[in-house]
Amino acid sequence: MKSKMVINVGNFVSRIALLEDNQLVELTVHKMEEREIVGNIYKGIVKDNVPGMGAAFIDIGLERTGLLHFRDAEPDFLDNEELEDKKFVKEVKDDISKMGNLLKVGNDVMVQVEKAPFEKKGSRLTGEISIPGRYMVFIPNKNNVAISRKISEHKEKRRLKKVFRKIKDKNVGLIVRTNANLKPDSTFKKEYSILKKTWQDILDRYNDVPAPSCIYDENDLSSVVITNLINKEIDEIILDSKPERNKIIKMLKGTTPGMLKKIKLYQEKSNIFDAFGIEKEIYKISHPRIYMKNGSFIVIQKTEALVSIDINTGSFVGGDSLEETVTKTNINAMKEIARLIRLFDLSGMIIIDFIDMKSDANREKVFNIFKKEMKKDYSVHKIFLTSPLNLIEMTRKRSRSNLLSSFFETCPFCDGLGRILDRAYVANNLIKWLDRAEKYHPQDEFEIFVHPLVFQHISEKNLLSKSNYHFDIKFQKDEDLYQNQFRIISIKSQKDITNMYKT
């Protein structure tokens, strides 16, 4: 499988697309005013300590404070005079509920963003700092070596543990990543030196800058590109910005010069995303129904509690029997759904409703294909066996702001509901308003502004022709109003009294 990264650098928005065998599987959007922050390290200030929640709120310089649970705090990265008392620190480490005694309001603290802000929630923070590399994760102020669970061979585990214990310093913990499997000993030392230097730079910046400040930006465009290049073993990177290309090359020169040949500059006049067919793909996935080549389609619905994914045969009628048609549809859909989960970065509880199949063998085949496709996903996820209702249930950890929130805003017209009030119901609400007003404003005169479609409905149905109101009414069309809105002005007082008699 050949992987390629295509980067479109803009003044306000930059986009990174990952293609596998020329198919779009990941898309990251970098907005200048909405930078991704997961993995970034901050020098923050404790704003509030809430023992009842077992957490503290930390100001890291963003619009909302981040949440740091006591169990995720690390005494080694707190600025507090009581840390000089080693006995007290040991007590805190033995009983994490006492961490609140160290997280005092106004104190500085080093934290890393574990989860990005989402809707009304602030970011989730951790005090356990980690710096990821290709073969290892560098964890300061620890002393253990842990091996990835995906490395199952006991002999290889022992070899890696021995090698990594030898290269690391005393006060450093390491997690050995799956990529290290069967790699020669000489491969690891250079990366360890790079990660060690990065940590020293972070410490220097922590001591030099005021809080709140970002002291390590893992999501700077160049850093993201290099991290992807190293961790995902990208074969080729093509970008349309010479300054950004030079910046990446400069960062790679001193550490991994062998990768420089993979960085290429796109110099054609056409848009780089058009040239690689990415814009067309983005347009396709921005619609409620995502069609596959055979005419079947997938519908993704995101709610507060979960993400539901539905499969429909659509216009696909191929196959000698219904069972064969349904099975083929499900197999094609499972491959596409695995790609879309990565592409949209769907997270939390995900329910996939595939089309009912009678054969247990076919159900198992579909399920195994989905599991195989999901192995390409780097995010932590768990997939559960199909339920009696023919559902695949899975959970997936969110790693960044999902693509849906990057491309779309909540519709102010329907407030994210996906539906609008029927014009007849709006007209009925207006009549109920007038019924209430009759008791208190019988001598008044009202000017009523409604959406043109509501005005048309009231006129066509003669809804007010038999009304016995004592006040006079004048209707006006207002195209600036949403269909579910109306506005009422009292002619007597010249005031907007819409909210007076609303339900």
What pLDDT is recorded for position 416?
Answer: 67
* Angle at the Cα of 47 from the Cα atoms of 44 and 48, rounded to 5 degrees: 135
pLDDT tens sequence across 107-150: 999 999 998 887 778 899 999 999 988 789 999 988 899 999 88
**pLDDT beyond 60 at 490:** yes
Q: What angle do CA 420, 425, 427 make, to 5 degrees?
A: 115
pTM for the model stands at 0.66
For the ranges 163-167, 178-182, 290-294, 399-403, the one whose mean pLDDT is highest? 163-167
Decide: 26 and 18 in contact? Cβ < 8 Å: yes
Structural domains of the chain, ranges and CATH numbers in brackets? 3-33+222-278 (3.30.420.60), 41-214 (2.40.50.140), 286-404 (3.40.630), 423-501 (3.40.1260.20)
pLDDT digits (tens, 9 = 90+) for 183-236: 888 878 878 888 888 899 899 999 999 999 999 988 778 877 877 776 667 889
Q: State both tokens at 7.
A: 């980067």
Write out the two tokens for 420: 């609008």
Look at residue 483 in the predicted model and tell me its pLDDT.
Answer: 87
What is the distance between the alpha carbons of residues 259 and 244, in angstroms, rounded to a whole number? Answer: 16
User: What's the token pair of residue 371?
Assistant: 């599991």
The percent of residues above 90 in pLDDT, for the chain, comes to 34
Q: Are strands 124-126 and 131-132 parallel, antiparallel or unpaired?
A: unpaired
Is residue 439 within 8 A of residue 406, CB to CB? The reply is: no
Buried b (16+ CB within 10 A) or exposed e, 193-203: ebbbeebeebe
